[in-house]
Amino acid sequence: MVEWKIINIVFTIKFNTNIPIEKIASTLTNNGAFVDYNPESFPALIVTLENNKKGKPRKITIFKSGTVNVYGLKKFDEINNVIDEMKKMFSKYSISLPDKYEIKLSNVVIAGNFDYTNIDIVKMYYDLDNAEYDPERFPAVSVPYYLSKDYKVTFNIFKEGYFICAGIRGDISVINQHINEIVNSFQENIIKKYAKKL
């Protein structure tokens, strides 16, 4: 059975209200918060929240339309804390977010190890359609894996059997089972064919 762990979760929240991101950007900047706002190059405000216990900081990308992307989470229930944090932060500046909003799981990124430790990623690159491999830039082959016509995930596979997979989405209540199905199916249908005998 393939071993894996979640390394990043991305949620999209739609508050369906206009958010004055210019006001928030200038106020947060003046109060020493980590913000990135350059409307000429990207039409959203990026705010770095406090670090979670380990790893990379959590970030939120806020659009004027009221859409907010939250990334850098490691557990699904962290989203509730982030929403509370945002509401508190905004209320300090007399901006209130509505209690009703839509929330969607946009992307789950996992890292793990296949049951095989000697994978011919060069052959995989030449054999598989849409595979990408540039060893001078990145020592893994990138392989799209279609679960349906309009749902694909992407595996970055290293020759030692380590992988990173992005693009996973679905119902949170069964996400672990869904991830197990994806990685084990990929191992059975793709990895097994390229595992070299030791």
Q: Which domains are assigned to the chain?
A: 10-106 (3.30.310.10), 114-194 (3.30.310.10)
CA distance 105 to 103: 7
For residue range 16-67, list pLDDT tens digits in order: 888 888 888 887 776 667 889 998 999 999 998 765 555 567 899 999 999 9
Amino acid 53: pLDDT:
54
Amino acid 197: pLDDT:
66
CA distance 133 to 22: 41
For residue range 113-133, list pLDDT tens digits in order: 999 999 999 999 999 999 999
For residue range 54-109, list pLDDT tens digits in order: 556 789 999 999 999 999 999 999 999 899 988 888 888 788 888 899 999 999 99
For residue range 137-164, list pLDDT tens digits in order: 999 999 999 999 999 999 999 999 999 9
Q: What is the dihedral of CA 145, 150, 151, 153, to 10 degrees?
A: 40
pTM as predicted: 0.88
